[in-house]
Amino acid sequence: MNNTLKNLLDIENNIKIHLNKLNINNNPKIVAVSKTFGIDKILPLIEYGHIDYGENKVQEAVEKWTEIKKINSKIKLHMIGKLQTNKVKFAIQIFDYIHSVDSEKLVKKIADEQNKINKKIKIFLQVNIGDENQKSGINKNDVSKLVSYCKKIDLDLIGLMCIPPANIDPEGFFQEMNKLNKTLDFTELSMGMSSDFLIAAKHFSTYVRVGSSIFGQRF
């Protein structure tokens, strides 16, 4: 069996075992973060039937996925990196989900561009759950206001996303995010990466974004 596919299957199995032990009913989707990797690395997963992939640069995503998505319409592409407003027009055409929305300006631009091509992108609001100055995301105290604006302009907002501070136990942050997500009546939650996806799954993340544990280290 191909190593990349084996890694994916191992992760799926580890999540199931971990949650079963805790008697938690959750089955998060794995977004295979394929940024910087060529199609030769990704193809075994596509052939297996995995559909969710994450990219953090619009141009790379367009070049890598345009033809593949024409052939395989089931594939869902997730924008997980910071999205600049001048790239939204192109992002809308290739992505199905955007996990990194963090401003009213970006929300408005997404709404305008998707209306032009009659497409509905699924949106997560990125929350700066650790209040880090260097990190993207909105302050947790401002989330409700931006949620209201998204609803006002009929954006398909499905949940929240976070990246907790590095080198700190993420459990408390994931717990807080789950609580906030439920308070806002969302059913989808994007959190957890290669180092902490089991903890995120425990706190009801429905999308975990896993790259290096599937594809190996980036150079």
Each residue of 39-57: pLDDT tens digit?
Answer: 899 999 999 999 999 999 9
Q: Which of 30, 25, 40, 35 is nearest to 7 (CA)?
A: 30
Question: pLDDT of 56-107, one tens digit each?
Answer: 999 999 999 999 999 999 999 999 999 999 999 999 999 999 999 999 999 9
pLDDT tier at 219 (50, 70, 90 boundaries)? Answer: low
What sections of the chain are H helices per DSSP? 3-21, 39-48, 58-71, 88-94, 104-116, 143-152, 171-183, 197-202, 212-215
Class of the CATH domain delimited by 3-215: alpha beta
Residue 96's SS3 state is coil
* Whole-angstrom distance, CA of residue 46 vs CA of residue 88: 26
Output the average pLDDT for the chain. Answer: 95
